[in-house]
Structure 1
Amino acid sequence: MRVLVLRPQPSASRTAGRLAALGHETALLPLSRAEHHVDAVRAALAGPHASIAITSAEMARLLGGLGDERTPHLSTTVFAVGQASADAMRDIGFSTVLHADGYGENLARLIAAHARENGRTTAPLLYLAGNPRAPGFESRLQEANIPFRTVESYRMVPLALSRAETMAALLQPVPDAVLLYSRESARAFFALAPFSEMPGRFDTTRMLCMSPNVAAAVPERFAEQAAIAAAPDEESLLALL
């Protein structure tokens, strides 16, 4: 099966490796790259905070690049949105990492439950966030009266793809399946020229979505070809293959 991977690097290459091990052919078409706001993160870590929250493994890549600067913070409790982001934080040295099931709303519930069990602190939770992001996590924290500070730590910047790159990835040959990890990447993907110029070429391509939120960005024409992972993680997404 030929599978199209839209993730940014270096995640795209790791996913390609997993697909190759499963016997699939892969095509890579990253639609964005992460632009890290390192100075903002340094300043945020220097300020008062009781714990750290992350909703993407991209934060582990940013923090990993700080080297010894992160050492004083490695004992700080980290709340991660899912297993993959939690593992990434452990890999760079954080010792106390709690994680939810991949959904931001459930991460907020985990944090609220932890506060009830362990007592609230006067220092805020430091949310090291990306842009764009869904509002659910911050909304649930507000509803639970959890004091927090959001610091935009990285931004996903769209890549300017040439027509040749796009046509090669989508038409030579047409992929059997596309992995859609985020609503933003799904929107960008379906805005590519081949979908407006020759949509019929993709009538048998499976649109594999990480979550219902991602699936909502699939155009109605392709809705019957969409499938949603049982859980919002890559293992569940690949299981759809």
Structure 2
Amino acid sequence: MNPEGANHANPIGLLIVDDHPVVRDGLRGMFSGDTRFEVVGEAADGAEAVRQALALRPDVVLMDLRMPGVDGVSAIGQLAERGSAARVLVLTTYDTDSDVVAAIEAGATGYLLKDAPREELFRAVVAAARGEAVLAPTVASRLMGQVREVRQVRQPAPEPLSQRELEVLGLIAKGSTNREAAAKLFISEATVKTHVLHIYAKLGVNDRAAAVATAFDRGLFTPGGGTP
């Protein structure tokens, strides 16, 4: 088989896996009409898909997910465990978070939906044969959303400001300079500067304006400049 799919004498070998005969017929007809591809086999469930993939050694397996008996995700995992070199491109009608993540974690190279245009599907198979990741736009968006959620969960809770830091920030919000804040709080200007640096670090900001804006956003004090 030829992963590049550019040489007509060595087309990309495909194994089509779907429990609906009409779907398999449609996909076989579609790919058989393009000399870049060769349909080397078909399977109606995950168990048969594993047997055929190991025997026929296709370049790419077009894998449905929800099938009777052994489902697509289980079949993908079994192929990975048994050292199959075939790239698995999921082709399904389902794009729920659980389906997408389970398939990719099991070892799928790509994930497309069955409403994908013909040329998009062709490009995806060629890319999958090269080992490139292929994701439908909606699937990519879901994964990005999950990554953002995980990052937010992993972020530590912001460290609270001390009472003195709140007092300094309150004076800054009212327009006081470091010297003026020091005089009002009966502390040195150097101590005020230290408090300001701690405030910046805890709020994740780099200047006075951002510190005040972040404090308001977090409800650390009211628009009048005092603590709530």
- Shorter-chain TM range is 0.3 to 0.5
TM-score of the superposed pair, with normalisation by structure 1: 0.35
Between the two structures, name the one with larger relative contact order (CA 8 Å, sep ≥ 6).
1
Larger radius of gyration: 2
The structure whose residues are more often strand, as a share, is: 1
